[in-house]
Amino acid sequence: MGINLKKIAKAWITAANPTPIQAELAEKRMDICDSCDKKGTTLNIVVCTQCGCPLSKKIFTMENDACPLNKWLEVEKDYFKSKTQKSII
């Protein structure tokens, strides 16, 4: 799994000005991350220790199934047409 700067940039842009639906999805994802044992801190930034991404931005990705542990799938089903669909409804 390589670093995809385009996807990272899109998540940061979305985090800066999310739509109400994007903010709702991000909140649901963060609820999952808050109880995950892979949530950690690096340089005072809350990150996913599995992939190293800062959670405050990763939760805004518009990619379906972006959690490396597949923990977001249950909440994402209401926002994406299918597992392979990449854009939010």
Per residue in 20-53, pLDDT tens?
A: 999 999 999 999 999 999 999 999 999 999 988 9
Q: Which of 25-29, 36-40, 70-74, 78-82 has the lowest mean pLDDT?
A: 78-82
> Per DSSP, which regions of the chain are E strands?
39-42, 45-48
* Confidence grade of residue 83 (pLDDT, cut at 50, 70, 90): low
For 73, phi then psi, to 5°, come to -55, -40
- What is residue 81's predicted lDDT score, i.e. its pLDDT? 73
61-68 average pLDDT score: 90
Could you give the percent of the chain with pLDDT greater than 70? 88
Residue type, 70: N
- What is the reported pTM? 0.85
Per-domain residue ranges for the chain? Answer: 5-76
pLDDT band at 15 (very low <50, low <70, confident <90, very high): very high
